[in-house]
Structure 1
Amino acid sequence: MKYLVILVLVLSTTLCQAQAKDNPFVGTWQLVSGEYVNEKNELVDYKTLGINSQKVITQRHFSFVSMANGKFWAAGTGTYKHTSDEYSEQPTMASFAMENGGNYVFKYEMKGEYWHNSRWHGDKRVEYEVWQRID
């Protein structure tokens, strides 16, 4: 029985490690740069707002907190999905009004420790972010 328990633990650990390798998002991320199109249809660079953000992603969930010039700006948490070129978040809680039924789809590209993503409405890019893995 003791050996069976050890075998199950070893197999579980190995499976979790394999799943983490198949999922490039698992970890802690720091926002490097970004921009979005505001309600006036203006492109806003995150630097002008003093945005600082961190995102933590597990196998199935994400959470983020963003500050603007040292004050709370936004936060959200929920589940996510990904394919080879799309990452989508489905917040279950957020400090902002959710759009698009609460499903945010991004095209992404991984470049070493950097994650580049962009969100589109039709042919118009409405958000672009670069994140750096810190853990």
Structure 2
Amino acid sequence: MTTLYFKKVMISIFVAALLLACTKQTDTNEAPAIVGTWKLLSGTLVEKGDTTVTDYTQGVSFIKIINDTHFAFIQHDLKGGKDSTTAVFTAGGGTYTLKENTYTENLEYCNAREWEGHHFSFTIEIKNDTLVQKGIEKVESANIERLNIEKYVRMK
């Protein structure tokens, strides 16, 4: 081998290593954008032609926690349960699937037991720190079939 050939090979290896070092690495284990803790701002229910909009920033707090495989939600009134007309506590959770913008909750636990064992599919849209989910909730045993639109903000 000549010295010139050896130098060319070494320079080529150096350049290749430099290019690889400059290439952005992607983490295939990166969590989906939906993973996190979300605070519900508003909810809109459309059922049998009636629309009800609820402001979840006044008198009540509702959060949804989503990890890589499970979700949980918790809601309670902000008066410590001391006002009999506004006292509320709701909780539930289970597994979920996410395929593109279709988020499906498989509700395994819920204080409203007739909701357990049901699957609820939502179309989701995430922009910056805002999550909007929209889908039909149907629980035949409770005579419920309604459109549910929820708007969340990511908690920091």
Matched, 1:105 2:121: yes
**In 2: Cα distance, 1:55 partner to 1:63 partner:** 6
Comparing both structures, which one devotes a greater share of its residues to helix? 1
Once the two structures are superposed, residues 42-90 of structure 1 have per-residue CA deviations (whole angstroms, 9 ceiling, x without a partner) of 3211129954210111110111111256433421110001111110100
Identity over aligned pairs, percent: 26
Contact 1:67/1:73, CA 8 A, preserved across alignment = yes
Q: 1:24 deviation in Å?
A: 1.1
Residue 33 of structure 2 aligns with which residue? 24
Q: 1:125 deviation in Å?
A: 6.4
**In 2: Cα distance, 1:63 partner to 1:133 partner:** 15
Contact 1:20/1:26, CA 8 A, preserved across alignment = no
What pairs up with 1:1-135 in 2 under 5 angstroms? 18-21=28-31, 23-38=32-47, 42-47=50-55, 50-68=59-77, 70=79, 71-96=87-112, 97-98=114-115, 102-120=118-136, 126-135=147-156
Q: TM-score of the superposition, structure 1-length normalised?
A: 0.71
Give the number of aligned pairs: 116
List gaps (5 residues or longer) in structure 2.
1-25, 80-86, 138-144
- The structure that has the greater radius of gyration is 2
**In 1: Cα distance, 2:77 partner to 2:46 partner:** 17
Q: TM-score of the superposition, structure 2-length normalised?
A: 0.62
Quote the RMSD (CA, aligned, Å): 2.9
